[in-house]
Amino acid sequence: MTVDDTVQNLVLRDVTKVYRTGDLEVHALRGVDLEVAEGDFVAIMGPSGSGKSTLMHILGCLDIPSAGTYELGGLDVSQMTERSLAQVRNARIGFVFQQFNLLASMTALRNVELPLVYGGVPRQERRDRAAEALGRVGLGDRLDHRPNQLSGGQQQRVSVARALVTEPDLILADEPTGNLDSVATRDVLGLFQELHSAGHTVLLITHEADVAAQASRTVLIRDGRISTGEVA
C-alpha cells in the first residue's frame, strides 16, 4: 500500500506521547486505543490539557507516537519518514484550525490554492479547483476578497475550502468554532455535516458539548486517556 491509497479505518493501539525537556517528562497521551471507521463523524471532546490536541496532531500525521501504533488505512504511519508523512498530510488529510491560518496578503482563491501549489498542480487546474472548493462552501462570489474583507465565519469557510481542495478522505478540525459567534458556528457545523454526508471522514476536536453533539459519535479524553464514559 502507498500513501496514494484511500484512507479507510483509523486505528490507534496503546498510543503514548511523552514530551521531554531535560529531566522533565510530560505524559500527554497514556495508552490510547481508538478506532474510526471510514465515513464516520467523530467528536473528540475534553477539557484543556486533556491531550485532545496532541491526539489530533498524531491523527493528522503532524507528530508521531512515543510508543504504540497508528494505522491509517492499514498503513503504520508511526513508522513513516517525515517525507512520507508530509505526502500523507498533503494528499489525504484536510486541516481546519481555530485561528483560520489564512495569509492576509492573499485572496481567498490564492489561500485555497496553496496546498495544490505544494503538490505541484498546474496553475490553471489549481485555480479551477480552488474556485470550485470556494463555491462548495458558499463563497463563489468572494474569490478575490482578502481575509480582512471577510467575516470570521467567512474566513473559516475559506479554511474549510482549503482543506477540501486536495479532495482528502479525512477532515481534521481542531476547535474550528472557537473564534466564531453562534450564527457562524451553526453555518460551519452545517458544512461539516454536509462533508460527512458526502462520504468524508470527519474528526472534530472540541471542548464544547453543543459542538460535539453535531457528530455521530463523541469520544471523551481526560488526562491523556480515552474515558470509559465514551458517548455513543
Q: What was the pLDDT predicted at 8? A: 56
Q: φ and ψ at 77, to 5 degrees?
A: -75, -15
Partners of 201 in beta bridges: 170
> Would you call 43 exposed, middle or buried from its count of C-beta atoms within 10 A (0-12, 13-18, 19+)?
buried
Region of residue 121 (phi > 0: left; psi between -120 and 50: alpha; otherwise: beta): beta
> Would you call 38 exposed, middle or buried from its count of C-beta atoms within 10 A (0-12, 13-18, 19+)?
middle
> Would you call 46 exposed, middle or buried from its count of C-beta atoms within 10 A (0-12, 13-18, 19+)?
buried
Nearest residue to 40 (alpha-carbon basis) of 200, 169, 168 = 200
In order along its 232 residues, the chain shows pLDDT tens digits of: 344 444 458 999 999 999 998 889 999 999 999 999 999 999 999 888 899 889 988 999 998 999 999 998 778 888 888 888 888 888 788 999 888 999 999 999 999 999 999 888 999 999 999 999 999 899 999 999 999 999 999 999 999 999 999 888 789 999 899 888 898 898 889 999 988 998 889 999 998 899 999 999 999 999 999 985 444 4
Nearest residue to 185 (alpha-carbon basis) of 176, 174, 194, 197 = 176
203 close to 58: Cβ distance less than 8 angstroms: no
Distance CA 132, CA 126 (A): 10
